[in-house]
Amino acid sequence: MAILEIKHLSKYFGGVIAVEGFDLLLEEGRIEAIIGPNGAGKTTIFNLITGIYPPSEGEIFMDGHKLTGLQTYKISGLGISRTFQNIRLFPDNTVIDNVSTACHQQANYGILEGFIYSPRRIREEKEIRKHSLRLLEIAGLADRAQENARNLPYGHQRRLEIARALALNPKLLLLDEPAAGMNPEESQQLMVLIRDIKKEFNLTVLLIEHHMEVVMELSDYITVIDFGKTIAKGTPQEVQSNQKVVEAYLGIGE
């Protein structure tokens, strides 16, 4: 069953073609990747999926729901979580609060209960705390729960962002360059983390990445973009040997 369906997606910024004619059929339970040179339009696609701005053309469906035109918070509420290319954490918030804030599934108490400590609130806050610590453990950050997020080293920040994204209990996880700035060892740990959470939380993952080993090892299927247009699609082996891809990248390969 296709969890994400993108049909003929295009985005123009004035005269600039950011994305043109992008198609994707993402089956449930797969890990797929979008790769391409810098500025090719990959993050724009993520932004379009999550509703940061509307597409100029095309439609996006998730589980049959039409996403195009919905506001970002509604789309996140439907089960799509993402991380950001430039890391968007809540810097002056603690590590655990970064995750707790996203624990909407565990909490339902209303605005009025925000003013008093009702039994329901106390109960739900306990749940939230439990769930947050669990996620921090998975991300290897439980011992730093009370630190301010801005004080974490870079690699830890990326993992915190993933932990936060998981707190929403998503069906689809969009990761925007999760391995950026990581050394080979950290990239390995990241790959293990992604595989683990995919299994444990039954996720479908769509990945943007420049680290080629990460992409080739993790992905079931890859779409290659250049200048906003799709230039190749296929399994990792097919894509690696595709002449157009090699040309577009010219020397990428780590």
Applying CB under 8 A, the residues found at the interface with other proteins are 43, 46-47, 50, 52-53, 71-74, 76-77, 81-82, 84-85, 88-93, 97, 100-104, 107, 109, 111, 113-117, 121, 124-125, 128, 164-165, 167-168
Q: In 2-131, where do the E strands start and end?
A: 2-13, 16-27, 31-35, 57-62, 65-66, 80-82
Minimal distance in Å, beta carbon 254 to other proteins? Answer: 22
Q: Which residues of 43-58 are buried (b: 16+ CB within 10 A; e: fewer)?
A: bbbbbbbbbeeebeeb
> Can you list the alpha helix ranges (DSSP code H) found in the chain?
42-49, 72-77, 95-100, 119-139, 154-167, 184-201, 212-218, 236-240, 243-249
Task: Say how far apart CA 67 and CA 64 lie, in whole Å.
Answer: 9
Sheet holding 31-35, edge to edge: 80-82, 172-176, 204-208, 31-35, 221-226, 229-234
Given the complex with other proteins, which of 169 and 242 has the nearer CB atom?
Answer: 169
Minimal distance in Å, beta carbon 90 to other proteins? Answer: 4
Minimal distance in Å, beta carbon 68 to other proteins? Answer: 16
State whether residue 202 is helix, strand or coil: coil
Neighbours of 95 (CB within 10 A): 28
Given the complex with other proteins, which of 16 and 250 has the nearer CB atom?
Answer: 16
Given the complex with other proteins, which of 167 and 215 has the nearer CB atom?
Answer: 167
Given the complex with other proteins, which of 176 and 226 has the nearer CB atom?
Answer: 176
Minimal distance in Å, beta carbon 173 to other proteins? Answer: 12
Given the complex with other proteins, which of 111 and 250 has the nearer CB atom?
Answer: 111
Neighbours of 217 (CB within 10 A): 15
Given the complex with other proteins, which of 47 and 187 has the nearer CB atom?
Answer: 47
Minimal distance in Å, beta carbon 152 to other proteins? Answer: 14
Minimal distance in Å, beta carbon 13 to other proteins? Answer: 9
Give Cα 190 distance to the centre of its chain: 13
